[in-house]
C-alpha cells in the first residue's frame, strides 16, 4: 500500500478492524482489474494520510474476500462503505473527486 495509513481489510479481520473499530471506517471495495478503482484508489490513499486519526480507511479486494462483499450486497465497484460503531451509515458507488470525497468523509466522521 502506498500509505501506512491505509488498512487492508479482509473476510478474516473485518469484525475486528471494521465493526469493532473505535473510529469511523471508510472501506474501499476494489479489485486489481477494475479501471475506475484505479482512479479512486490514489485519492482514497491520499485522504487516508490526510485524515489519519479521524477515520480509519482501507481497501477490501472483492476477488480475495467474497464473503464480506456478498454480505453487504456490493455488486458494483468501486464502492465506498461508511461504517460507524459497527453499522453501515452510508455508501457511495463510483469514482468521486478528492474534494467532494473529503467533504463527505469529514461530514461522516463528525456525525
Q: Where are the domains of the chain?
A: 6-110
Q: How far is CA 96 from CA 12, 25, 37, in A?
A: 28, 17, 11
Residue 83 has pLDDT above 60, yes or no: yes
Q: What is the pLDDT of residues 32-76, one digit of tens each?
A: 999 999 999 999 999 999 998 899 999 999 999 999 999 999 999
- Give yes or no: 43 in active site: no
List the catalytic residue out of 26, 34, 51, 62. 34
pLDDT (0 to 100) of residue 5: 86
Residue 2 has pLDDT above 80, yes or no: no
From the number of C-beta atoms within 10 Å of its C-beta (0-12, 13-18, 19+), residue 40 rates as buried
Q: Which CATH class is domain 6-110?
A: alpha beta
List the catalytic residue out of 6, 18, 27, 37: 37
- The pTM (predicted TM-score) of the whole model is 0.94
Q: What is the pLDDT of residues 3-28, one digit of tens each?
A: 578 999 999 999 999 999 999 999 99
- 65 noted as active-site residue: no
Q: How buried is 10 (Cβ within 10 angstroms: 0-12 exposed, 13-18 middle, 19+ buried)?
A: middle
What is the grid cell recorded at 43?
485519492
**Quick one: pLDDT at residue 111?**
87
Amino acid at each position: 500500500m502506498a500509505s501506512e495509513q491505509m488498512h487492508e481489510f479482509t473476510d478474516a479481520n473485518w469484525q475486528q478492524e471494521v465493526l469493532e473499530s473505535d473510529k469511523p471506517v471508510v472501506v474501499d471495495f476494489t479489485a486489481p482489474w477494475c479501471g475506475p478503482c484505479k482512479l479512486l484508489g490514489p485519492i482514497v490513499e491520499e485522504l487516508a494520510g490526510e485524515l489519519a486519526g479521524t477515520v480509519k480507511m482501507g481497501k477490501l479486494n472483492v476477488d480475495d474476500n467474497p464473503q464480506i462483499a456478498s454480505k453487504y450486497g456490493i455488486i458494483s465497484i468501486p464502492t465506498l462503505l461508511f461504517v460507524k460503531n459497527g453499522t453501515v451509515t452510508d455508501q457511495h458507488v463510483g469514482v468521486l473527486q478528492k474534494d467532494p470525497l473529503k467533504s463527505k468523509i469529514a461530514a461522516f466522521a463528525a456525525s
